[in-house]
């Protein structure tokens, strides 16, 4: 690891000042992604600004909302009684990610901004537009089993690796940030970007901004939520495909729902068309199949990930069956 300067900040304002002063500085939360990338030489900030002592560690109820501070550890949020009562889908998704030890360090803010696990992004000898803009994308013609089937570009076909993000986009979460120009809120659906011609940018967060918390509006989904994660081993592996499903049932009718997928795009992928189709319909395997077909419109695979074109719709159907309790 290259050496760097280190400073521990006690206020968000100091953190923002540090970022404004030094464009090559990075915030350090749990470090489970950043330190890993620094060891590989994928990222080499001049300065780390340690935000672990900032008081973004509360989980509290607001008016019709749940607020989770950006420094709350994933393990703490996943086990929190309020989170379990109001947003169990989020807990399920976080528990499907990483390992118990890693979740003890991983923060909400750091998880939002964790970078792709594309092997060429990690290999500093490989061409990669995300790591070194303009060098090309080695995954396009390379080993692309983990890669995107939606929203990719000829510049980058990487996926966002987070489980938590899939639940957050399904739940219409809002990311709260603070910067030199004050505070602002970013809808989760707008927080992550598609690669386009600038795959080096993962999110719409400004370099000088700090995430302070996440707000999730109340909903009536708690009884019917599922996070289905398909991976190469039973635990402690990134998703090949994941599906977050949250339903509000009225008898056998789907009154309202949210659907999102992970492992398929540069951002957590909301399945709006499938949602619109299922809203007000009877929960049945036939309808789930039609919804999955709609969700797959426009999907494109790159060779090694062709299997996702089949795995993804099957996963959507399975997640909907589990969430609704519909068997056959």
Ligand X SMILES: Cc1cc2nc3c(=O)[nH]c(=O)nc-3n(C[C@H](O)[C@H](O)[C@H](O)COP(=O)(O)OP(=O)(O)OC[C@H]3O[C@@H](n4cnc5c(N)ncnc54)[C@H](O)[C@@H]3O)c2cc1C
Which position among 9, 16, 27, 240 is part of the footprint of ligand X (CB under 6 A)?
A: 27
Strand residues in 90-221 grouped as ranges (E) = 174-179, 182-187, 210-217
Strand residues in the chain grouped as ranges (E) = 5-8, 25-28, 47-50, 59-61, 65-69, 174-179, 182-187, 210-217, 225-230, 241-250, 253-262, 269-270
Q: Cβ–Cβ contacts within 10 Å for residue 135, how many?
A: 13
Of 104 and 284, nearer to other proteins (C-beta) is 104
> By CB under 8 A, is residue 104 in contact with other proteins?
yes
Contact between 228 and 315 under an 8 Å Cβ cutoff? The reply is yes
Helix (H) / strand (E) element for 225: namely strand 225-230
> By CB under 8 A, is residue 324 in contact with other proteins?
no
**Nearest distance from residue 22's CB to other proteins, in Å?**
7
Interface with ligand X in residues 156-175 (CB under 6 A): 161-164
Of 17 and 284, nearer to ligand X (C-beta) is 17
Of 110 and 313, nearer to ligand X (C-beta) is 110
Q: Cβ–Cβ contacts within 10 Å for residue 199, how many?
A: 25
Separate counts of helices (H) and strands (E) for the chain: 13, 12
Quote the DSSP letter at residue 307: T
Site string for ligand X, 70-99 (x = CB under 6 A): x--------------------------xx-
**Residue-by-residue DSSP string for 46-103:** SEEEE-TTSS---EEE-SSEEEEETT-BHHHHHH-HHHHHH-HHHHHHHHTSS-HHHH
The three-state secondary structure class of 228 is strand
Which position among 14, 17, 35, 273 is part of the footprint of other proteins (CB under 8 A)?
A: 35
> By CB under 6 A, is residue 36 in contact with ligand X?
yes
Interface with other proteins in residues 164-223 (CB under 8 A): 200-201, 207
**Nearest distance from residue 39's CB to ligand SF4, in Å?**
18
Which position among 128, 173, 240, 323 is part of the footprint of ligand SF4 (CB under 6 A)?
A: 128
> By CB under 6 A, is residue 269 in contact with ligand X?
no
Q: Which residue do the tokens 């360090």 mark?
A: 105
Positive/negative CA dihedral, 113, 114, 117, 119: positive
Structure tokens at 83: 């989170």
Of 117 and 304, nearer to other proteins (C-beta) is 117
Q: Which residues pair with 214 in a beta bridge?
A: 68, 175
**Residues lying near ligand SF4 in the complex (CB under 6 A):** 116, 118, 120-121, 128-130, 137-139, 156-158, 199
Residues of this chain that bind other proteins (CB under 8 A): 1-6, 8, 22-25, 28, 30-32, 35-36, 38-39, 41, 43-46, 48, 50, 52, 98-102, 104-105, 124-125, 130-133, 200-201, 207, 234-236
| Residues in contact with ligand X by the rule CB under 6 A | 26-34, 36, 51, 70, 97-98, 102, 105-107, 109-111, 113-114, 161-164, 210-211, 238
């Amino acid at each position: 690891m290259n050496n760097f300067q280190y400073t521990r900040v006690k206020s968000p304002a100091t953190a923002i000042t540090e970022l404004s002063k030094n464009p090559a500085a990075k915030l350090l939360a749990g470090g489970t992604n950043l330190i890993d990338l620094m060891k590989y030489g994928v990222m080499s900030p001049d300065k780390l600004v340690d935000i672990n002592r900032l008081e973004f560690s509360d989980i509290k109820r607001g008016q019709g909302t749940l607020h989770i501070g950006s420094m709350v550890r994933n393990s703490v949020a996943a086990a929190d009684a309020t989170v379990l009562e109001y947003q169990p889908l989020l807990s399920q998704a976080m528990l499907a990610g990483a390992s118990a030890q890693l979740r003890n360090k991983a923060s909400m803010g750091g998880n939002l901004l964790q970078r792709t696990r594309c092997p060429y992004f990690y290999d500093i000898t490989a061409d990669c537009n995300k790591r070194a803009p303009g060098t090309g994308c080695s995954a396009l013609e390379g080993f692309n089993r983990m890669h995107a089937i939606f929203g990719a570009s000829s510049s980058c076909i990487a996926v966002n690796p987070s489980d938590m993000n899939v639940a957050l986009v399904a739940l219409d979460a809002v990311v709260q940030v603070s910067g030199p120009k004050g505070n602002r809120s970013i809808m989760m659906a707008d927080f992550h970007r598609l690669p386009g011609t600038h795959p080096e940018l993962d999110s719409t967060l400004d370099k000088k901004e700090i995430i302070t918390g996440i707000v999730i509006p109340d909903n009536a989904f708690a009884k019917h939520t599922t996070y289905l994660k398909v991976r190469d081993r039973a635990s402690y592996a990134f998703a090949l495909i994941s599906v977050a499903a949250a339903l509000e049932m009225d008898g056998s009718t789907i009154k309202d729902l949210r659907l999102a997928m992970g492992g398929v795009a540069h951002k957590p992928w909301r399945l709006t068309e499938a949602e619109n189709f299922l809203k007000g319909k009877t929960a049945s395997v036939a309808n789930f199949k039609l919804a999955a077909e709609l969700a797959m419109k426009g999907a494109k695979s790159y060779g090694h990930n062709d299997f996702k074109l089949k795995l993804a719709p099957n996963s959507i159907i399975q997640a909907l069956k589990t969430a609704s309790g519909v068997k056959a």
